[in-house]
Amino acid sequence: MLDELARVVARHCPAQAVETVVPRLRLVRFDDAPAGPTDLLYEPMVCFVALGSKRSTAGGRSWLVGRGAMFLSSVELPVTAVFEQVPYRSVVLRLDVGLLADLLLELDEPAPPTAGSPDPVALTSAAMSPAIVEAVTRWARLLDDPVDIRPLAARMEGEILYRLLGSPVGPALRQLTVADSRLSQIRAAAGLIRARYAEPLTVQEIAAAARMSVATLHRHFKAVTGMSPMRFQKSLRLQQARRLLVTGADTAAGAARAVGYVSATQFNREYRRAYGVPPGRDAAQVRAVRL
């Protein structure tokens, strides 16, 4: 069944990533590994890997997920990804927390406990069960017969969520629906940083958005994401600056200003630390590989 899922991805994903006409279904395909690490911004989602493997790194943490495995991203998270085995094929389910909450109400499940629970982590991985592989494959196959999408897509998505709740990623998935959980507080903090990454944010503002003290924010934000709030913001800034440079939309100085850097020297230093070479050279290298 994994081979069939990989074939469905190949049929409907001519580019590296495609947002499909099926709601919340994204396909990812790499036939050759990119020359270097790829910047990605994960959102709340579940990724099902049918072929190949990918290593994601955020802060001081690294996750390797390969064929037959899945991973849940619980928060928005800037990562660098390396495709260690290609060809690579995966199916991504972008999570709708409202649909997930409705399903839990229908199942009449009690809310998961939050007091005394350990901090969740931003990425949780596990092997896919045969039932999950089969459900995801049928969902992706809707692209073969678009007339079936409207009557069947929501039902199939609900089945996948149901299967996931019974899997090892189920506890982390349930935490997404708890309004006052530690995860929801960290998601609020991450969302504020994401929305205002180019602005001079203070830790006090971020802590207020998360309804935490500064010390509590630092401890729990790092426990969930693997990095401090300020490093999270810096990662977002550098990713966006790199996009501007690679597309030729701006100079290094202009990109630095656009993402919130006051000091060009600091920008160049942090960019080189993140990507190994100065901004202009890195952008030229990436563009050369893409040509």
Quick one: which of 188, 46, 181 has its CA closest to 111?
181
CATH number of the structural domain spanning residue 154: 2.60.120.280
> How is residue 25 written in tokens?
């279904």
pLDDT at 41 (0 to 100): 93
Is the pLDDT score of 111 beyond 90? no
Same domain, 233 and 161: no
Q: What is the distance of C-alpha 243 from the center of its chain?
A: 17
The model's pLDDT over 28-87, given as tens digits with 9 standing for 90+, comes to: 999 988 867 889 999 999 999 999 999 999 988 899 999 999 999 999 999 999 999 999
- The pLDDT of residue 110: 67
**What is residue 266's predicted lDDT score, i.e. its pLDDT?**
96
Distance CA 122, CA 76 (A): 8
Residue 31 sits in which domain range? 2-175
pLDDT at 250 (0 to 100): 78
The arithmetic mean of pLDDT across residues 179-207, rounded, is 92
User: 176 vs 68, which has greater pLDDT?
Assistant: 68
Total domains present in the chain = 2
Task: State the SS3 of 81-97.
Answer: EEEEEEEEEEEEEECCH
Q: Which of 175, 204, 219 is the last residue of a domain?
A: 175
Q: Are residues 77 and 95 in the same domain?
A: yes
The amino acid that residue 113 corresponds to is P
How would residue 126 be classed by pLDDT, with cut points 50, 70 and 90? very high
Of 175, 206, 227, the one marking the end of a domain is: 175
Which of 175, 202, 223 is the endpoint of a domain?
175
- Work out the mean pLDDT of the chain and round it to a whole number: 92
The pLDDT of 193-208, averaged and rounded, is 95
Share of residues in the chain with pLDDT > 70 (%) = 95
Structure tokens at 59: 């802060």
Q: What is the pLDDT of residue 290?
A: 61
pLDDT, tens digit (0-9, with 9 covering 90-100), for 221-277: 999 999 999 999 999 999 999 999 998 877 899 999 999 999 999 999 999 999 989
- Whether 162 and 81 share a structural domain: yes
- pLDDT of 291 > 70? The answer is no
